[in-house]
Amino acid sequence: MKITKIAFTACMLALFVMAIFAEDATEEHKNAMKGLQKSVGMVKRGEDVPAAIATIKASAKAIEDFWLKRDNEVTTKSMAAIREGVAAAEKAGTDPAALAAAAGIINGSCRGCHSVHKGENNTIK
């Protein structure tokens, strides 16, 4: 009985701590993410690449300021990968293999941050 109570209290405490650290994303953050996802797909398929690149740049800028204050290391790495991928996409012209490779570089930046900061149901952790 006593152990059950202690276990229950421990669970409640853990839930409370998780609730503090998992934060709902703002619409601005979600929209920037959706813009990134859509545009990387466009680069990969060679579809209106200049417009896709413009969206990627704008979305990356929108999330950079927010994230630099929270996790400078992951953000700096992610932004470097996005810039590298954007530069590759700008050079790729209409070459499908080069565009796919550029999209691959950009996707690496997403994984770098998601693996650390994307919580369940698209929360921020």
At which residue do the structure tokens 């740049």 appear? 57
Question: Does the protein bind ligand HEC through residue 124 (CB under 6 A)?
Answer: yes
Which residues, 6 or more positions from 38, have their beta carbon under 8 angstroms from its beta carbon? 52, 55
Instruction: State the binding string over 1-20 for ligand HEC (x if CB under 6 A, else -).
Output: --------------------
Classify residue 125 by its DSSP letter: -
Among residues 62, 98, 101, 110, the one that binds ligand HEC under rule CB under 6 A: 110
Q: Which secondary-structure segment (H or E) carries 121?
A: none
Question: Does the protein bind ligand HEC through residue 30 (CB under 6 A)?
Answer: yes
**Residues 35 to 64 in contact with ligand HEC, rule: CB under 6 A:** 36-37, 40, 63
Closest residue by Cα to residue 50 from 100, 110, 91: 91
CB count within 10 Å of CB 118 equals: 16
Among residues 29, 55, 88, 102, the one that binds ligand HEC under rule CB under 6 A: 29
Say what angle helices 27-45 and 49-68 make with each other, to 10 degrees: 140
Segment near ligand HEC (CB under 6 A), from 12-20, 44-52, 90-98, 108-116? 108-116
| Interface positions with ligand HEC (CB under 6 A) | 25, 29-30, 33-34, 36-37, 40, 63, 67, 74-75, 78, 106, 109-110, 113-114, 117-118, 122, 124
